[in-house]
């Protein structure tokens, strides 16, 4: 038979094996010197010197309704070598408790005195992560401990009942560590920490239990043997501690302290993460079997190298080689968790750390050879010093004022990506050659996947090295959007439908990745063509995962060029392919893109809400990815804003910004996007000071990582300027808006769309402060820039709409009507007949006709505007304005005056609910006062 596990050793020492199992165990001992030595070590601890008499029998089972002291037994919760645990009722305090009955250790004397001493020891431990002890006593010759009743599972069960990401497991164990650290600070050592001795409550809080093994050295009686004084009354049978998690000094029967708990904790956490128990390399002593185990049936998971190194230190053979205490271990973990580095490295520690441990334990013996050594040459010619130098040269040749700053940020991002790639390459090797967690076939597939990631890096570096203006502008996004090496941990995902090992499929994935980089650079037409061709080929071959990726990029390209309806169709095709491939991550990304499109550009908030729900379902299946989750929640916030729920959008965006600040580097474009949206959400709520603060926060990041002259800085300055204008900070607003215009003129020149947008914002500023002549001039300049574009742009319609407002306010309604009719035609051509903005243009036409003295003609466009706003809700002020204008048209044309009054009153109610509509409310109330219905 194979070497028995720890539970078999324990059962044998307690006489719990049946005859056949005991005979088989003894036959194995006859042939296995290692197990004989392990049993001898266990026996030295289980029966210390002077303890010749056997211990008493374990507690008898008590029937439901029986009593133990003042407690009423309800049912049995569990049983083991340590005793029996019941759910019981405490009638004095009217509460349920967990009641443990245990057997005193052999040789224990002065039972009542020691119980009192143990109660004093346990009373020192009061902490949220420790189950409190209510009572310790004796009943019918048995010892009982009453403690808090926690209905949740043990940590051992929690970590195996579902697939848990490493971070979630670490978070739960750190709760237990805090409880142990508090106990150590009170002078109490647990001595039997294991996942079965920690409970997970319904509130998600972990509580450490079974401090009955705890030792407070100062409390030991002077006349008691040290081993008995430290063992306490509740040892598991005769063995102090659980073999799988016992520190080497416990196996030797030596004195223990808080560092022994540290060892047990690290052993438990190692097993939870790696899927197999930790075994120290064989040294001068023989405890448990020393060979590296095969992985557990459930398998292990990758976890970061820094965590592996910390655990290995906590698992050092010599106590003095471990960390100084549990708090030091907690602090080290929290420092690394809070660094917020994107793509935490999930790599095995490898023989580098293991070899160092052997040197420490073995007195300076030479370390074994490294099987999975780093090989920097693997990225030679792809990303190395020469490649970085060429990139910087290409950027400098562009002549763009922000080129040097962006080059530095892009190089840093690519360096970090390369480091992650090397670590994943090493981890892939170690998983097979060192730890045995994967087969050689799986290693080959994982390596092939990493080779594809290297090819993607090569293509992006070549694109960046061209130094072309659009590439330099988008360089940081291009660098950050590289496919992550960590996605190769599941190479089976690349084998869906047999596409993973096919050269043509590899070429197709490379084409799609290049197209995605071109989308970032704004080359939408080329990206759409290339991704579309790759997707078509994938569909012919039945490669659904590749088709899903290709169609998503097609959708992004179409969205980039303003073709929202066409983008929607591409995203749906991506979704159908992702579902066919059972690719939940691809489905999450496609649903997320679709939700953002529906919410922000197509103004269909209810459909956006449903798309978000689909995205969340796919994300729940895809697993833990905080960056993908943040993108999803950003889309959800856009949907909430589109539906008018600005407070919900603001709350959600606060969480999105916090998540990205924790998990993404400061230069990640997604963080800037989230900050911009967060600032806008405060603007929507009328909290302009908070809005300006978030825009300034985003500006500081953009200036640092992109340069003070980058177009993103111009966009943020425009946002800040608009916010300052609403705060009546005219000077500050003008400075930011002119700053934005100056950047766009330097970078793009006078005829670019971005420059047109900057002129348009400056025109809005002039109109707001009342200089209508300068506003009109700026609007007309903006429209001239749009007129020079090769294709009509929908933003030109918005500028014409704003110009019409100036014309109406300067008593030129006929000119205003002409602008609005042109804008309406352009709007329908570019964004479709049913877009909500159409209602604004119809409302403007109605106003113009009323001002021209033709109110009867104004009724039809105003009725159409109201119907559209009621069918496609957006900012309620638009609906209120349309109803108000229709009321005027009806009244002035001699129409239904009762309906006219009702429409105006409805508009007033809408404006009262909108704090920023105060001026509109005053106007409609004045009209109502001046237009009463005749009496009678």
**Cβ contact 358:431 at 8 Å:** no
Q: Which two tokens stand for residue 42?
A: 């266990």
Q: End-to-end alpha-carbon separation of the chain, Å?
A: 106
User: Contact at 8 Å (CB) between 228 and 213?
Assistant: no
Contact in structure between 235 and 105 (CB atoms under 8 Å)? yes
Task: Write the CB contacts of 863 (distance below 8 Å, at least 6 apart in sequence).
Answer: 886
> How far apart, in Å, are the Cα atoms of 547 and each of 505, 570, 597?
10, 11, 20
- Distance of alpha carbon 400 from alpha carbon 467, whole angstroms: 10
Which residues does residue 73 pair with via DSSP β-bridges, in sequence order?
88
Rounded Cα distance, 46 and 12, in Å: 12
Distances (CA, A) of 671 to 314, 662, 665, 668, 677: 36, 10, 8, 6, 10
Active site residue 192: yes
Question: Mutual orientation of helices 19-31 and 6-13 as an angle, nearest 10°?
Answer: 110
Distance CA 34, CA 24 (A): 16
- Residue 843 CB-half CA count within 13 A: 23
Q: What are the backbone dihedrals phi and psi of residue 560, each rounded to the nearest 5 degrees, phi first?
A: -65, -35
Phi and psi at residue 276, in whole multiples of 5°? -155, 150
Tokens standing for 180?
């142990």
Of the residues 192, 583, 584, 715, only one is catalytic, namely: 192
**For residues 389 and 465, what is the distance between their CA atoms, to the nearest angstrom?**
9
Maximum distance among all alpha carbons in the chain?
114
Residue that has been written with the tokens 């929607």 in this structure: 568
CA nearest neighbour of 189 among 212, 155, 156: 212
* Residue where the block lists tokens 């006349």: 223
Reference 793, options 760, 746, 762, 840; nearest CA is 760
Contact 340, 665 (CB under 8 A): yes
**DSSP per residue, 56-111:** PPPPPP--TT-EETTEEEEEEEEEETTEEEEEEEETTTTEEEEEEEEPPPTT---H
Enumerate the β-bridge partners of residue 85.
78, 100
Which residues partner with 84 through β-bridges? 79, 101
Residue 882 is encoded by which pair of tokens?
């349309």
Which residues face 83 on adjacent strands?
80, 102
Which residue from 782, 838, 774 is spatially nearest to 806, judged by alpha carbons? Answer: 774
Token pair belonging to 211: 């401090």
Round to whole Å and give the CA distance between 36 and 54: 22
Cα-based angle 477, 479, 482 (whole degrees, multiple of 5): 105
Question: What are residue 265's phi and psi, to 5 degrees?
Answer: -60, -50
Query: Angle at CA 237, nearest 5°, toward 231 and 238?
Result: 50
Q: What does 777-818 look like in DSSP terms, one character per residue?
A: HHHHHHHHHHHTSSS--HHHHHHHHHHHHHHHHTT-HHHHHH
Contact 908, 924 (CB under 8 A): yes
What is the C-alpha to C-alpha distance for residues 91 and 101, in angstroms, rounded to an integer?
19
Instruction: Kindly provide the b/e burial profile for residues 242-267, where b requires at least 16 CB atoms within 10 angstroms of the residue's own CB.
Output: bbbbbbbbbbebeebbbbbbbbbbbb
Q: Please list the active-site residues.
A: 192
């Amino acid at each position: 038979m194979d070497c028995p596990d720890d539970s078999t050793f324990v059962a044998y020492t307690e006489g719990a094996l049946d005859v056949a199992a005991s005979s088989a165990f003894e036959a194995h001992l006859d042939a296995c010197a290692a197990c004989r030595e392990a049993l001898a070590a266990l026996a030295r601890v289980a029966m210390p010197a002077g303890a010749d008499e056997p211990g008493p029998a374990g507690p008898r089972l008590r029937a439901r309704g029986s009593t133990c002291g003042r407690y009423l037994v309800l049912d049995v919760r569990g049983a083991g070598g340590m005793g029996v645990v019941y759910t019981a009722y405490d009638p004095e305090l009217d509460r349920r408790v967990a009641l443990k009955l245990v057997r005193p250790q052999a040789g224990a004397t002065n039972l009542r005195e020691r119980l009192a001493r143990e109660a004093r020891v346990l009373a020192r431990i009061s902490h949220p992560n420790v189950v409190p002890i209510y009572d310790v006593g004796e009943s019918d010759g048995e010892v009982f401990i009453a403690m808090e009743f926690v209905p949740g599972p043990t940590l051992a069960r929690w970590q195996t009942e579902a697939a848990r990401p490493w971070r979630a497991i670490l978070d739960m164990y750190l709760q237990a560590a805090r409880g142990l650290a508090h106990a150590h600070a009170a002078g109490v050592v647990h001595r039997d920490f294991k996942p079965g001795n920690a409970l997970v409550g319904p509130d998600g809080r972990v509580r450490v239990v079974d401090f009955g093994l705890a030792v407070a050295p100062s409390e030991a009686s002077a006349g008691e043997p040290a081993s008995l004084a430290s063992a306490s009354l509740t040892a598991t049978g005769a063995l102090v501690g659980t073999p799988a998690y016992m520190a080497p000094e416990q196996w030797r029967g030596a004195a223990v302290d808080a560092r022994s708990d540290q060892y047990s904790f690290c052993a438990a956490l190692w097993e939870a993460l790696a899927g197999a128990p930790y075994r120290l390399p064989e040294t001068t002593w023989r405890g448990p079997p020393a060979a590296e185990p095969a992985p557990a049936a459930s398998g292990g998971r990758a976890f970061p190298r820094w965590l592996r190194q910390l655990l290995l230190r906590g698992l050092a053979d010599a106590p003095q080689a471990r960390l100084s205490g549990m708090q030091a271990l907690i602090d080290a973990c929290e420092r690394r968790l809070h660094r917020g580095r994107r793509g935490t490295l999930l790599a095995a520690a490898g023989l580098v750390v293991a070899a160092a441990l052997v040197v420490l334990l073995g007195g300076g013996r030479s370390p074994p050879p490294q099987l999975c050594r780093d090989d920097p040459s693997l990225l030679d010619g792809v990303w190395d010093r020469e490649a970085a130098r060429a990139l910087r040269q290409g950027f400098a040749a562009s002549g763009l004022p922000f080129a040097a700053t962006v080059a530095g940020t892009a190089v840093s991002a690519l360096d970090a990506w390369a480091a992650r790639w090397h670590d994943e390459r090493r981890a892939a090797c170690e998983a097979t050659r060192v730890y045995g967690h994967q087969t050689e076939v799986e290693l080959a597939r994982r390596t092939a996947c990493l080779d594809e990631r290297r090819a993607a890096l090569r293509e992006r570096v070549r694109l960046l090295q061209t130094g072309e203006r659009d590439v330099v502008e988008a360089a940081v996004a291009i660098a950050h959007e590289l496919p992550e090496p960590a996605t190769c941990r599941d190479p089976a995902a690349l084998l869906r439908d047999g596409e993973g090992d096919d050269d043509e499929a590899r070429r197709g994935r490379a084409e799609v990745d290049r197209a995605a980089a071109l989308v970032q650079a704004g080359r939408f037409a080329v990206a759409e063509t290339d991704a579309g061709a790759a997707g078509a080929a994938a569909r012919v071959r039945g490669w659904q995962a590749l088709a899903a990726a290709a169609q998503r990029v097609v959708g992004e390209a179409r969205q980039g060029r303003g073709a929202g309806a066409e983008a929607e169709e591409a995203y749906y095709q991506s979704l159908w392919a992702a579902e066919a491939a059972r690719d939940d991550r691809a489905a999450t990304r496609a649903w997320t893109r679709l939700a953002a499109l529906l919410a922000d550009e197509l103004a269909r908030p209810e459909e956006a809400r449903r798309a978000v729900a689909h995205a969340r379902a796919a994300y729940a299946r895809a697993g833990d990815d905080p960056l993908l989750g943040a993108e999803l929640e950003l889309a959800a916030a856009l949907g909430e804003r589109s539906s008018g729920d600005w407070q919900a959008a603001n709350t959600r965006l606060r969480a999105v910004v916090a998540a990205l600040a924790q998990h993404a580097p400061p230069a990640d474009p997604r963080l800037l996007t989230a900050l911009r949206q967060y600032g806008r959400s405060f603007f929507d709520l009328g909290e302009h000071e908070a809005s300006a603060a978030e825009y300034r926060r985003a500006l500081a990041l953009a200036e640092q990582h992109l340069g003070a002259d980058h177009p993103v800085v111009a966009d943020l300055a425009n946002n800040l300027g608009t916010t300052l204008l609403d705060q009546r900070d005219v000077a500050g607003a003008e400075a930011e808006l002119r700053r934005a215009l100056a950047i766009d003129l330097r970078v793009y020149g006078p005829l670019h769309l971005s420059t047109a947008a900057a002129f348009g914002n400056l025109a809005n500023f002039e109109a707001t402060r009342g200089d209508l002549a300068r506003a009109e001039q700026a609007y007309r300049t903006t429209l001239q820039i749009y007129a020079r574009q090769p294709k009509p742009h929908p933003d030109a319609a918005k500028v014409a709409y704003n110009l019409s407002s100036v014309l109406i306010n300067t008593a030129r309604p006929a000119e205003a009507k002409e602008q609005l009719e042109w804008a309406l035609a352009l709007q329908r051509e570019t964004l479709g007949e049913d877009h909500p903005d159409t209602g604004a243009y119809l409302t403007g036409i109605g106003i113009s006709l009323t001002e021209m003295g033709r109110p009867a003609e104004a009724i039809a466009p105003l009725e159409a505007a109201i119907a559209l706003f009621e069918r496609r809700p957006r900012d309620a002020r638009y609906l209120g304005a349309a109803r108000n204008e229709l009321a005027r048209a009806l009244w002035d044309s001699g129409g239904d005056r009762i309906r006219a009054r009702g429409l105006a009153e409805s508009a007033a109610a809408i404006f009262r609910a909108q704090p920023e509509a105060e001026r509109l409310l005053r106007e409609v109330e004045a009209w109502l006062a001046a237009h009463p219905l005749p009496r009678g």
